[in-house]
Amino acid sequence: MKDGKIVGQGELVCEKDLPYDLLADYYYAITSREATTEISAHLKQCKHCQTMLVGIRNASQEVEGREELESRLDAGAIRLQNFLNHAPEKHETPVRSMHPAKRNKRVVKWLAAAMFIGLLGFWLRDAFDAPISTKSQLAIHLSEPYPGPQIVRSSDTHNNREQELFAAFEAYNEGHFTEASSALQSLIKQGETDLRVYFYYGLSSLYRESPNLQDAQHYLERVANSKSNYRQQASWLLSLAYAKDGKQSKANELWKLISEDDAHYKKQDARQLLKSAN
């Protein structure tokens, strides 16, 4: 790893030591053009900062969601309060001299409003304390594709394999996952056995617009069970493929293994998914 390294019990650290605030500014797209370019390049090869950025994104989405909800509730509370404040002014006759039927209707309205506010308070307390659902967490993890490999176009224009590999990885890096999966599948059919090709074909099959979950699981399993440098990433992404395909028991088994592996870079995320799934 160029910018990140592993120390102690698998703890990822960043040699550039990018500040948390700088990564947050990058997430909100308020860094300068030069800084954005440099950070984007750094993130492609630093697992520590990738993990930090995912945490910033998750926290940001949760806060934004609560702020929007609270804003709507505040507006509703203001409208309700205005209604209660001005309701008596619509009646020239004092309440005490109202017809009993009208007075009963008003009492019912006030009681209904009080019950609504009380129930709303209990609901908000439970909503804010409740963990994010497994489905929501899964959507968040799948919305941020694993970074593509660094590629350099081969100067040997007669080397078809290198040219095809470059085109496939370039398509992946640009987010054209269907195109990337087709190109990588073609290489595999030609006898390609490079585990890196298997890994990115599995990911392309998972991320493409119409996912090929069978191929995604098959090739990620091969990498996860190998001695490849991608085996940790493959095990994590394989668990997401299982969950997306409805194979919850298999996903839970992998999340349990990952959560118990102190050296795994996704142990905390696996624990959260396992907790919400049980």
Burial 119-139 (b: 16+ CB within 10 A, else e): eeeeeeeeeeeeebebeebbe
Helix 160-173 × helix 195-207 angle, to 10°? 40
Q: What is the mean pLDDT of residues 160-165?
A: 87
Decide: 142 and 244 in contact? Cβ < 8 Å.
yes
The pLDDT of residue 90 is: 46
The pLDDT of residue 11 is: 43
Question: Using one digit for the tens of pLDDT, what is the confidence trace for 108-151?
Answer: 555 556 566 655 555 555 544 445 688 888 888 888 889 988 77
Q: What is the mean pLDDT of residues 191-198?
A: 93
Category of 146 on φ-ψ map: left (φ > 0), alpha (ψ -120 to 50) or beta: beta
The pLDDT of residue 2 is: 45
Same domain, 103 and 7: no
Q: What is the mean pLDDT of residues 26-48?
A: 82
Same domain, 143 and 224: yes
Decide: 161 and 187 in contact? Cβ < 8 Å.
yes
Query: Strand, helix or coil at 4?
Result: strand
Whether 84 is covered by a domain: the verdict is no
The pLDDT of residue 10 is: 43
CA distance 269 to 266: 5
Decide: 102 and 93 in contact? Cβ < 8 Å.
no
- The answer on pLDDT for 211 being more than 60 is yes
List residues bridging with 264 in a β-sheet.
none
Same domain, 221 and 269: yes
Same domain, 178 and 112: no
Domain that holds residue 249: 139-277
